[in-house]
Structure 1
């Protein structure tokens, strides 16, 4: 094994200037894959930490002796939500809430740092007057995100705020008083569970292309490596030695690339903390995957690259003479298309029912999306070969003929150049239908405060509100409850003063506006933010993949390019052939994967409207432009490898 490592190290060091460039390209590909993989895993971990931090606000009813009473409501200031948790101890052993050193006493308030700062900055009549005196500051483990506004108010068990009924909403922003004996952990809130499912979908949309890209990184400069290994086989190296040398070379490069990926991700974390989801940013510690995940990435990425490198050794081990003589490998079979067709058929049969299966449906969807990615990657080279056959048969110019023959001769290499944008096309198609319009927000009245009360209390509440605000009050009657409404002109400051004045009119129920229904507003904005984040990362994968694999392809074929130049082929013809070799499969595979993404999103999609269509068109334009731009970076390298066509020892 030591000899194999020494040979692998010598091959890495002694490959010449262009061999070193190939190694650097592989290292860069692995580094980008690792950095974005850490981002995906960090996002999943961060949403889990948010769910854990939110769980204590939604405890289950006591199973044994109750030791405390808890109620939840959501107030607002300057349009921002304030989570208000009312607590009353029933015994001395009441559970201490997370983020606090003790249980709150009646008549005191513990606040988050963000809310404490607002209480100092705003007049008391607009905010601080709603709460008892502050007694402490909540720590990070009680908060979902930095800057969150949270107040924990201590009350007596007989306080009206702890006995009056409260309307319970599906979005978990209010909850009636409940007798408890412990605080919950994990994902309890329905809202947090939805975000976790969306985060998992986004992670699959990013992780699978990253794994494909990471595996393809092992096969960069494949022709140069195969030639060297075939030469070793011809001079007497055993198949086991060839495999060991290949694994050692790939793992050494990938390990360095994985460490470089961690180094790339580390400085990006502070910037990522400012990405706003669900009304706030992130704690930097939450965006780092757990240590076991990090170690798994550092071990798994080199392992993946090593396995992918070994998978491409069949020709070298079985027929080293064929590699040395540059024989064309056998054509791929159409059976590769069967896998993609099978996934589409299964999804067509089951996709419509997934939305009604809850978590099980989400898991099935994630599996199908991952299988679709892998099936596209499996069918891609076959489709590229078909494009090459058609192009060569219909060619009318030398450049088109060269491009077609190259696609037909080595479809796997051509697929690696466009695989990133093809998989990004799937992501763009999938997300295009998940871009709801602002019409979902409904009535957004910003100057109308409302209190919902039983019929018997409506008149008294309306009279009290009119007395406090000196404004006309209306009562809207419904089946079981009435809504007392009052219009407050004068902007946000006037509305917040009115909120403070009305704070105790209905115990435990702050006055709210239709415009305060921020859960749906945040959700719409978060879908767009998430879609743009995933697309931006996917574009980075695609463009990096195109640039690296394009340069690698030029290095692999430098002898063929040099021989064509010696035969009299003009350099512009070779460059046009190189561009068409990228553009032709890009159009076919990018369009096909885009349609596949639309098919997969159709059961869950909302009518896209103008924002969705614009997003789709922008994605297509940026994708094509980015890949073509990255491919153009190989032009100077093509000029370099054809400037001196004499054979080189590397």
Structure 2
């Protein structure tokens, strides 16, 4: 019977009552879709790490079956991962992922993108670097679609597998392995840790937004439930109806958000990280995880709805009479201060894992959200006391009357300020323009062979028709190409020098910095993605809660209009009650975010970080003002007929 009554009350709320339901539905749909994206990011990096693990060999303790060595090569300013393999013993080991069999000596298996590039370019620019192509690698061997990978088979005593230790760019040390399962590389672990931290920066505001969705149009619902309590409904019935209403709408919103994310997944897979886009399957969480999100979001909304029922259950008459609830306690501020005091201690020091950092960030996030309503109430008292006109007086009294509702309107932008303060301070500086002068190819040579390798390099480059000045510098041979050398000439020179020192790759200075530059570029992309998600949450939160606030207070607005208050004054007061706490809490959240970033930097903020912060501040205020403008027609509509309406 309770469920039937809930359904009838939900349908019987009228057009404006249903508008509040649709606002909750939209809030849950947005938070679910973005939550799935934040969760999927961690699974995507994990999937990449698993697919690339076979290139990072684990030394065999006994019973070695193969020798493996990986290095990087370059063509057209793109990175090629080259894996040299040789079988040991008579029994052929299991092949790497994506290969039907173990590569034989003198044959190469190329990824689809590399095979296509080898066909398009002249052989002296790429194909001549590798032996005959035996086949094409499957997607199981690739970290991302379009990756350039070559697997080359050798004999166990091949010079390429006898090279001494060197830089990873030049070539890792050959490793005897029992199998080719491998382990996650150091780079994969770094990206995984960054993904966990980015996930926290996105998930916590989403959870706060999802919980706030349950409190939309809270005044209308509290009035309705209080009336039911006064006519004899039991506390259990009130709780049951509240949970049923909230979870019914939340489940529909969660389903819509899941569908929206599914449709957007192919577009999200196009975001380039670690050198390329994603397989579409990477950006889909495990089905059990998706089911957990579908179940968890309505549960969070239901719990948030129940958490606000204490006044209705204990004092329904107070709700019906619109009594101001008791103020919040200063202990909220003490909690945030305690978290910030412990934060540097917890996050500094060697061996601090990404999980600890993520947990500390989450606590700081939640601390800002906890103290927000208390600060809003304080701002309201100060604003009302210093008011010199009706606009500030109305705004201040509203902030004092319901600071939680006022905080919900600005919390999205304030928490985005926290994100901007954190990632903005860590934004890498602009990249260098690169070395001046003509390009140079460098080849690391074994001790005592520098002059011999230099002579061979001159001969090879001359035969390839490449003009270059070759010099020997300690253990490095440097081939300076002419100032007119283009990328095709550089690639011809690379091919000519390929294998001059077996297992070592000719590189330019740009090549040596390419991997670190890629990490910096990916951090920038990650910063943009995290801020984009944060701003989507902030704008959606501001717009939806602003409209919900108008619906909650439509009777108050109507009575003020009957008393002669101009509509422009009501609109300005509504805008002031948003912008005043936003200025204070947004600035405070940015400072807390900057504070949380301090343990991870050793120099001052880069210009890129300052620009990021500036853009976030401007975009945040613009988003809130725009959201307020969108709800202005609704304010005009609810004050056009100020007579009280039963819900």
RMSD over aligned Cα atoms? 1.4
TM superposition shift of 1:441: 8.3
CA distance in 1, matches of 2:173, 2:287: 39
State the match for 1:487 in structure 2: 480
CA distance in 1, matches of 2:480, 2:209: 58
1:513 has 2:508 as partner = yes
TM superposition shift of 1:60: 0.7
State the match for 1:646 in structure 2: 643
1:602 has 2:598 as partner = yes
Aligned residues: 637
Aligned runs of 1:427-466 on 2, under 5 Å? Answer: 427-439=419-431, 443=435, 447-466=439-458
Q: Deviations over 1:108-162 (max 9, x none)?
A: 1111111011011111100000001111111111110011000001111111112
State the match for 1:617 in structure 2: 614
State the match for 1:72 in structure 2: 70
8 Å CA contact 1:352, 1:603 repeated in 2 = yes
The secondary structure found in structure 1 opposite 2:174 is strand
TM superposition shift of 1:183: 2.4
TM superposition shift of 1:205: 0.1
TM superposition shift of 1:584: 0.5
TM superposition shift of 1:607: 3.0
Q: Please, which runs of 5 or more residues in structure 1 have no aligned partner? A: none
The secondary structure found in structure 2 opposite 1:175 is coil
CA distance in 2, matches of 1:293, 1:185: 27
CA distance in 1, matches of 2:100, 2:135: 9
State the match for 2:584 in structure 1: 588
The secondary structure found in structure 1 opposite 2:72 is strand
State the match for 1:384 in structure 2: 376
State the match for 1:181 in structure 2: 178
CA distance in 1, matches of 2:520, 2:558: 55
State the match for 1:407 in structure 2: 399
The secondary structure found in structure 1 opposite 2:51 is helix
State the match for 1:149 in structure 2: 148
Pair 444,415 (structure 1): closer, same or farther in 2 beyond 3 Å: farther
CA distance in 2, matches of 1:162, 1:185: 18
CA distance in 1, matches of 2:220, 2:192: 45
Pair 173,639 (structure 1): closer, same or farther in 2 beyond 3 Å: farther
The secondary structure found in structure 1 opposite 2:638 is helix
Q: Deviations over 1:327-364 (max 9, x none)?
A: 110111111111110111001334432xx22xx43222
The secondary structure found in structure 2 opposite 1:456 is coil
8 Å CA contact 2:469, 2:481 repeated in 1 = no
Q: Please, which runs of 5 or more residues in structure 2 have no aligned partner? A: 463-467
1:533 has 2:529 as partner = yes
TM superposition shift of 1:185: 5.2
The secondary structure found in structure 1 opposite 2:62 is coil
TM superposition shift of 1:543: 0.7
8 Å CA contact 1:61, 1:178 repeated in 2 = yes
Q: Deviations over 1:275-305 (max 9, x none)?
A: 1111101001100011111000000000000
TM superposition shift of 1:534: 0.5
CA distance in 2, matches of 1:185, 1:565: 72
TM superposition shift of 1:487: 1.1
The secondary structure found in structure 1 opposite 2:152 is strand
1:222 has 2:218 as partner = yes
State the match for 1:59 in structure 2: 57
TM superposition shift of 1:473: 1.1
Aligned runs of 1:259-270 on 2, under 5 Å? Answer: 259-270=255-266
The secondary structure found in structure 2 opposite 1:179 is strand
TM-score (norm 1): 0.96
CA distance in 1, matches of 2:134, 2:5: 68
State the match for 1:19 in structure 2: 17
TM superposition shift of 1:435: 1.1
State the match for 2:82 in structure 1: 84
State the match for 1:42 in structure 2: 40
- Aligned match of 1:500 in 495, 511, 526? 495
State the match for 1:116 in structure 2: 115
- Aligned match of 2:634 in 631, 637, 641? 637
Aligned runs of 1:37-436 on 2, under 5 Å? Answer: 37-91=35-89, 92-169=91-168, 174-184=171-181, 188-353=184-349, 356-357=350-351, 360-436=352-428
8 Å CA contact 2:422, 2:596 repeated in 1 = yes
CA distance in 2, matches of 1:419, 1:524: 30
Pair 395,194 (structure 1): closer, same or farther in 2 beyond 3 Å: same
Pair 444,544 (structure 1): closer, same or farther in 2 beyond 3 Å: farther
The secondary structure found in structure 1 opposite 2:599 is coil
Q: Deviations over 1:199-233 (max 9, x none)?
A: 11110000000000000000000000001111111
Pair 173,183 (structure 1): closer, same or farther in 2 beyond 3 Å: farther
8 Å CA contact 2:439, 2:481 repeated in 1 = yes
8 Å CA contact 1:67, 1:89 repeated in 2 = yes
CA distance in 1, matches of 2:557, 2:276: 54
CA distance in 1, matches of 2:574, 2:224: 25
State the match for 2:27 in structure 1: 29
TM superposition shift of 1:609: 2.4
> Which stretch of structure 1 is more off in the superposition, 137-146 or 26-35?
137-146
The secondary structure found in structure 1 opposite 2:79 is strand
CA distance in 2, matches of 1:610, 1:598: 15
CA distance in 2, matches of 1:437, 1:526: 13
CA distance in 2, matches of 1:164, 1:208: 49
State the match for 1:550 in structure 2: 546
TM-score (norm 2): 0.97
Pair 197,55 (structure 1): closer, same or farther in 2 beyond 3 Å: same
